[in-house]
């Protein structure tokens, strides 16, 4: 495996790059002013997350992450941005009720959640399993989805169908009144 020079350092650099892409995308998604940049931040974070899934021995989920999140979810949100006007300018007489306290409180809540969970996950000594009963290959996932998990699989497809029909009904109902 180590025939190529510095191959483990290259792998580590790619891993740290994936983490950096994920963190940067999440920060862009949460902190920018314009909503379209926030959607782009979500796409960048999904790309980094796909890389992390690849490092977790799951190229199937890496592909699905790119297909579903970047290809479907972000494009759908961009359609929502086009159909509404989320970047409306604030009226002149509008004053923020808590101009100093509100950012500090939300930042404190976010930092508290992050530091608490990070400290918890760093303090636990995670034990590797004694035996591995399944290697998690794509073939094994396919067999499981059609045998053991066939009922949840069909239920998810039913949920998607109902969601599409419900979205059509809800988005269309106001149009007939006008």
Partner 1 sequence: MNPAQLYTQPAAYLVVAAFLLATGIYGLIRRRTLIGMLISGELIFAAASLNFMALNRFTAPDRSVGQIAVLFIMGLAAAEVAITLSIIIAVYRNYRSIASKDLNELKG
Tell me, by CB under 8 A, how many residues bind partner 1. Answer: 92
Residues 38-77 that bind partner 1 (CB under 8 A): 38-39, 41-42, 45-46, 49, 52-53, 55-58, 60-61, 64-65, 68-69, 72-73, 76-77
Q: Of 5, 17, 141, 151, which one interacts with partner 1 (CB under 8 A)? A: 141
| In the complex, minimum distance from the CB of residue 115 to partner 1, in angstroms, rounded to a whole number | 8
Given 3, 133, 147, 176, the residue binding partner 1 (CB under 8 A):
133
Q: What sign for the dihedral angle of Cα 149, 155, 159, 161?
A: positive
Among 89, 98, 99, 135, binds partner 1 (CB under 8 A): 135
Question: With binding defined as CB under 8 A, does residue 4 bind partner 1?
Answer: no
Alpha carbon distance 67, 43 (integer Å) = 11
Taking the complex as a whole, how short is the minimal distance between the CB of residue 99 and partner 1, in angstroms?
A: 13
Residue 21 is a binding residue for partner 1 (CB under 8 A): no
- Least distance (Å) between residue 149 CB and partner 1: 6
137 φ, ψ (degrees, to nearest 5): -80, 170
User: Which residue in the block uniquely carries the two structure tokens 């599409």?
Assistant: 164
Local structure of residue 34 (DSSP, 8 states): S
d(CA 178, CA 70): 35
Q: How many Å is the Cα radius of gyration of the chain?
A: 22
CA–CA separation, 176 vs 174, rounded Å? 6
Residues written for the chain: 178
Query: Residues 7, 1: contact at Cβ < 8 Å?
Result: yes
CB atoms within 10 A of CB 43: 20
Q: Which of residues 89-118 bind partner 1 (CB under 8 A)?
A: 102-103, 105-107, 109-111, 113-114, 117-118
Interface residue with partner 1 among 93, 95, 173, 176 (CB under 8 A) is 173
Exactly one of 5, 89, 101, 129 binds partner 1 (CB under 8 A); that residue is 129
């Amino acid at each position: 495996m180590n025939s190529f020079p510095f191959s483990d350092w290259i792998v580590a650099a790619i891993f740290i790059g994936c983490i950096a892409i994920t963190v940067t995308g999440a920060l862009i998604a949460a902190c920018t002013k314009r909503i379209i940049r926030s959607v782009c931040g979500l796409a960048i974070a999904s790309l980094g997350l796909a890389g992390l899934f690849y490092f977790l021995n799951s190229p199937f989920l890496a592909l699905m992450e790119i297909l579903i999140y970047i290809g479907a979810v972000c494009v759908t949100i961009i359609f929502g941005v086009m159909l509404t006007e989320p970047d409306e300018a604030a009226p002149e007489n509008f004053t923020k009720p808590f101009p100093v306290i509100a950012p500090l409180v939300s930042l404190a809540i976010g930092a508290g959640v992050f530091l608490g969970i990070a400290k918890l996950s760093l303090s636990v000594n995670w034990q590797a399993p004694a035996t591995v009963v399944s290697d998690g290959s794509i073939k094994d996932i396919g067999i499981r989805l059609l045998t053991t998990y066939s009922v949840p699989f069909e239920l998810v497809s039913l949920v998607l169908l109902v969601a599409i029909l419900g979205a059509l009904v809800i988005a269309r109902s106001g149009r007939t009144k006008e």
